[in-house]
Amino acid sequence: MSALVEINNLTVRFGGARTVHAVNGVSLSVEKGEVLALLGESGSGKSVTLKSILQLLPPRRTTIGGQIRFDGTDVLALKGRALSDFRGRDVSMIFQDPALALDPVYSVGAQIAETVMRHQGVPREVAMDRALEMLRKVRIPSPERRLKNYPHEMSGGMRQRAMIALALSCNPRLLLADEPTTALDATVQMQVLLLLRALQKEMGMSVIFVTHDIGVAVEIADRVAVMYAGTIVETGTIAEIMKNPRHPYTRGLLAANLHGAVKGTRLDAIPGAPPTLEQPPSACPFAPRCPQVRPACHAALPPVVQSGPGRRVACVLEAATA
Amino acid sequence: MTDATTEPVLRIAAQSQGYWAGVWRRVRRDPVTLVCGAILAALILAAIFAPWLGMADPYQGSMIRRLKPIGTAGHPFGTDELGRDMLARLIHGGRLTLFLGITPVVAAFAIGTTLGLIAGYVGGWVNTIIMRTVDVFFAFPSVLLAIAISGALGAGIVNSLVSLTIVFIPPITRVAESVTASVRKLDYVDAARASGAGDFTIVRVHVLGNVMGPIFVYATSLTSVCMIIAAGLSFLGLGVKPPEPEWGLMLNTLRTAIYVNPWVAALPGVMIFITSLCLNLMSDGLRSAMNVRQ
Amino acid sequence: MSANDLGLPDKGGPAQPLVIASDLTCHFPVRAGAFGPKKVVRAVDGVSFTIAKGETLGVVGESGCGKSTTARLMIGLIEATGGKIIYDGQELGADLSLRELRRGVQMVFQDSFASLNPRLTIEESIAFGPKVNGVDPAEARRIARDLLDRIGLDPARFAGRYPHELSGGQRQRVNIGRALAMRPRLVILDEAVSALDKSVEAQVLNLLADLRRDFDLTYMFISHDLNVVRYISDRLMVMYLGEVVEIGSAEALYERQAHPYTAALFSAMPSMDPDARTEVPPLAGDPPNPIDPPSGCRFHTRCPFAEEVCAARKPQVVTLGEGHQVACHMHDATSGHGKAAA
């Protein structure tokens, strides 16, 4: 196995009226054909990490450090033509709100065909055939008719499918998914998750899937990286994370999901709220909320303890038991 | 039950500031807005205190000192086509020009905001009547409308004020209506209704404070337009009459001197340009400073 | 007037349901374009339910099912086009004015930022309700400070703060406090914890449990998250396209879902077990538009068990067990549906 994406010590800082250290030393890798879930709450830096892979952050306000390699190429150094080739052909992205990805004034078919023509240099007819094939692939009923539809003529779930068709039309090797099912109704969310799972298997691409919902991660991911305050606190396979969570924050998140919580009992809530990140963390960022906090947690950044291939926990307690 | 108190407060400030204190804090960090505000303040103060600044008489002409260039001894900005001191006329001209630029907007702000609030908050057929009437005025370009009304009422300062006020009521009403309608939809207005508050109380406590800011900023940007139209009316002979100093009128009368002494002839235009630029930049700055979510 | 005059005294006694909604309807006329054909959105169409004193009724359903509209009807933010609301034995409009109803029923909205006036301090926001109901300002301030303490925000530090200076969880606490300032007996929570992060959501749920006990509250809890609804609700009401399809005790519904839509909703919950992922999508397609809803049983276009009778006739409400009702032809022996228990 070789890594398709390698992120090394990524830091992202936003300037402006208030400085925000959104990502603070994230390192992770994604293998070919693997689905990695970035799991975290709002402000954990999961979306920012994802967007920096495509250089989608506002360049004037953003300071990025570290390295992102995609199949050996230094992604953060890409510019101009090379960057636009990279976006959409090698890597594409789907969003929570399809309105961000679909242009309201063009029909869905025209948009997919346009992308195919730009990246593959094929004539319009071939591109339209490809668009039709993609709508079939994402299981949109009566695709011939839907090809000519505009985004507003489709229901929410259908638009999400159309966006997936657009994103996958050029056979990307990596798909970035930024909470694509969060705004959908429960029954539709499950349809889209199952579709993504099937398409991933069929097309063999790697996926980085950002979500705040552990349940969604369970349904889609091979591996999970749990993020907190711009750092990765724990990584492992989905089974490892679910059955043997090591980091106190991961445990707290699992408990807060309420799956199996008994009515009438008090919930084990994590007290407090995440830090505001005006300063980069100099100690364990979870220490102020942690039920098992030690003096060492406030003194320095926690050690990252590796207990197996791809199994890492950033916690003082883990170092003590290892 | 005090677990939420341990959460960090988002701002470090020990004691929370009021809304306007926050606005002022943000304006203070914005040099462009500060400089524009200072220039405008200087212009307004100079205009108000013009008679006491010890300058030459703006009405006193001299046949032998006509159209002196900028930098002439005794006349730092030169003289106009009748030999009057340009500096004195420009400063005195600010009185009428700024008065004509600001007064109609203030009047239109009061009337337009009231109409817009009613239309936006009540909705329904009240909204239809007010907004469709406003739309009729939008059919005419504002300059044309001002000229038509001024022409019908006759030349004069009061009539210019009336016509300019009428011109600016529709755009302010429209902005007020759309801002009010969007605030009206917010949950806190619903929550206030659900606590049994009457419409008047809701408008006073929950709507007014949140719509005034954007309308005020928009009105500020209209002041420059108003000044230019007022100058235009004077230029056409519909507003201020000679020999009163007023920038638009001065631009008109100096028009003939453009080949003899173009720099002097351009000075009233430069004043109009600087003032309206400062007004626009300042209203942009205020707009971002008043954004609470920052 | 003092704080003791807020709220409404109990009239009907413990056996009287706090709220009886009977055959509530709410239709909005809409036009497609200025001259388009007039259509009707059947946002709520013949909804009936009761909420007993002290219980929590959970309401679930997908977008367009009418759960938020029902909430707004209950507090008079929208006017019903038909049906009755009976609060503690008094009918709204006949025995009870809207103003009086609102002293008994309050609501917390989903968007914690939009539901607070950005120009008021949180103390002013909480004190607003009592003040407009005639409580003198000093007393209203005292109520607000007392409530701030009860919702876990130290009044000395927080009273003078503005909404944008608080986190989402803190703002939602303030919204709960604002609702409680009116001394209501029923609090409608419309997706009140849905926008919060999971770890903060648990804190707020604990707070809601404390407040329910301390203030003797009744909740109507609207949510799309079945895990949360299960944790907090005594009874559960499932809505689809403006109608109630199933209602029953939360435990009974988790054990056995009588309506195929309820079953689909439950099977759409992520499995939480990586070795037993969901394999089959629970339903095909999106929920239809509540403009021109399907004929007969509104669910028949997506129902895996639909037969001719489902498109032809509206199902009867059938009582299955104690308080467990379902509107489905499969449970009505007289319907003629192939799977109907004869």
- pLDDT over threshold 60, residue C1: no
Helical segments of chain B, H only = 19-28, 31-48, 86-122, 124-138, 142-153, 157-184, 187-194, 199-202, 208-235, 247-253, 262-289
Cα A173 from Cα C184, distance rounded (Å): 57
Contact B195 C129 (CB under 8 A): yes
> Using CA atoms in the order A133, A137, A143, A144, what is the torsion angle rounded to 10 degrees?
10
- pLDDT over threshold 70, residue C11: yes
Give the burial class of A49: count Cβ atoms within 10 A of its Cβ; 0-12 exposed, 13-18 middle, 19 or more buried. buried
Kindly state the average pLDDT of the residues C105-118. Answer: 92
Reduced to 3 states (helix: H, G, I; strand: E, B; else coil), residue C122 is helix
Give the burial class of C22: count Cβ atoms within 10 A of its Cβ; 0-12 exposed, 13-18 middle, 19 or more buried. middle
Q: What is the pLDDT of residues B86-118, one digit of tens each?
A: 888 888 888 888 888 889 999 999 999 999 999
B293 is in which domain, residue-wise?
A: 86-294
Residue B188 placed within a domain: yes
The H-or-E segment that residue C255 falls in is: helix C250-255
Q: What is the pLDDT of residues B200-237, one digit of tens each?
A: 999 988 998 889 888 988 998 888 888 888 888 887 88
Given a contact as 3+ CB pairs under 8 Å, which chains touch A?
B, C
Q: Using an 8 Å CB-CB cutoff, list chain B residues near C77.
A: 190, 193-194
- HEC string of chain A? CCEEEEEEEEEEEECCCCCEEEEEEEEEEEECCCEEEEECCCCCCHHHHHHHHCCCCCCCCEEEEEEEEECCEEHHHCCHHHHHHHHHHHEEEECCCHHHCCCCCCCHHHHHHHHHHHHHCCCHHHHHHHHHHHHHHCCCCCHHHHCCCCHHHCCHHHHHHHHHHHHHCCCCCEEEEECCCCCCCHHHHHHHHHHHHHHHHHHCCEEEEEECCHHHHHHHCCEEEEEECCEEEEEEEHHHHHHCCCCHHHHHHHHHCCCCCCCCCCCCCCCCCCCCCCCCCCCCCCHHHCCCCCHHHHHCCCCEEEEECCEEEECHHHHHHC
Q: Which residue has the higher pLDDT, A115 or B66?
A: A115
Work out the minimum CA distance from A84 to partner chain C, whole angstroms: 34
- Written as six digits, the tokens of C86 are 């009976």
Which of C115, C186, C212 would best serve as a mutation to test chain B binding (most B beta carbons within 10 A)?
C115
Count of CB atoms situated within 10 Å of the CB of B118: 18
- Written as six digits, the tokens of B75 are 């006349």
Only one residue has tokens 């390699």, namely: A69
Contact yes or no for A102/A163 (Cβ under 8 A): yes
> ipTM, 2 decimals?
0.86
Provide the pLDDT confidence category of residue C341 given band limits of 50, 70 and 90: low
Cβ density class A223-256: b for 16+ within 10 Å, e for less = bbbbbbbbbbbbbbbbebbbeebbbbbbbbbbbb
Cα A223 from Cα A226, distance rounded (Å): 10
Q: What is the pLDDT of residues C202-222, one digit of tens each?
A: 999 999 999 999 999 999 999
Q: What is the pLDDT of residues C14-50, one digit of tens each?
A: 889 999 999 999 998 887 666 667 788 889 999 999 9
Contact C106 B16 (CB under 8 A): no
Cα A313 from Cα A322, distance rounded (Å): 11
Quote the number of domains for chain B. 1
- Written as six digits, the tokens of B98 are 């700024």
Task: Output the domain CATH number for residue C51.
Answer: 3.40.50.300
Cα C321 from Cα A158, distance rounded (Å): 39
Task: Output the domain CATH number for residue B217.
Answer: 1.10.3720.10
Q: Which residue has the higher pLDDT, A195 or B288?
A: A195
Q: What is the mean pLDDT of chain B?
A: 83
Residues C276, C280, C281, C283, CA torsion sign: negative
Q: What is the mean pLDDT of chain C?
A: 89
Identify the structural domains of chain A with CATH numbers, from first to last.
Answer: 3-321 (3.40.50.300)
- Written as six digits, the tokens of B292 are 């609470």
Residue B54 placed within a domain: no
- pLDDT over threshold 80, residue B56: no
For chain B, say whether A269 makes contact (Cβ under 8 Å). Answer: yes
Cα C278 from Cα C270, distance rounded (Å): 7
DSSP B166: H
Residue B104 placed within a domain: yes
- pLDDT over threshold 50, residue B294: no
Residue C306 placed within a domain: yes
Residue of C nearest to B291 (CA): C118
Work out the minimum CA distance from A281 to partner chain C, whole angstroms: 20
Which of A14, A19, A266, A276 would best serve as a mutation to test chain B binding (most B beta carbons within 10 A)?
A276
Q: Who contacts B291 (Cβ-Cβ below 8 Å, separation ≥6)? A: none
For chain B, say whether C199 makes contact (Cβ under 8 Å). Answer: no
pLDDT of residue B2: 39
Residue of B nearest to A273 (CA): B7
pLDDT of residue C2: 56
The H-or-E segment that residue C228 falls in is: helix C226-232
Which of C286, C289, C301 would best serve as a mutation to test chain A binding (most A beta carbons within 10 A)?
C286
- pLDDT over threshold 70, residue C289: yes
C88 is in which domain, residue-wise?
A: 16-119+162-331
pLDDT of residue C51: 95
Reduced to 3 states (helix: H, G, I; strand: E, B; else coil), residue B183 is helix
A 281-310: CB under 8 A from B: 288
- pLDDT over threshold 70, residue B124: yes
> Using CA atoms in the order C29, C33, C34, C39, what is the torsion angle rounded to 10 degrees?
-20
- pLDDT over threshold 50, residue B1: no
Q: Which residues of chain A have pLDDT under 70?
A: 1, 322
Provide the pLDDT confidence category of residue B269 given band limits of 50, 70 and 90: confident
Contact A275 B8 (CB under 8 A): yes
- Written as six digits, the tokens of A29 are 């890798």
Q: Which of B50-54, C11-15, C101-105, C127-131 has the lowest mean pLDDT?
A: B50-54
Residue C217 placed within a domain: yes
Quote the number of domains for chain C. 1
Residue C342 placed within a domain: no
Residue C210 placed within a domain: yes
Provide the pLDDT confidence category of residue B12 given band limits of 50, 70 and 90: very low
Contact C167 B293 (CB under 8 A): no
pLDDT of residue B21: 78
- The rounded Cα B18 to chain-centroid distance in angstroms is 26
Q: What is the DSSP string of B199-220?
A: HHHHIIIIIHHHHHHHHHHHHH
- Written as six digits, the tokens of B171 are 């755009």
Q: Which amino acid is at C88?
A: D
Share of chain C above pLDDT 70, in %: 96
Contact yes or no for C116/C122 (Cβ under 8 A): yes
Q: What is the pLDDT of residues B237-250, one digit of tens each?
A: 887 877 888 888 88
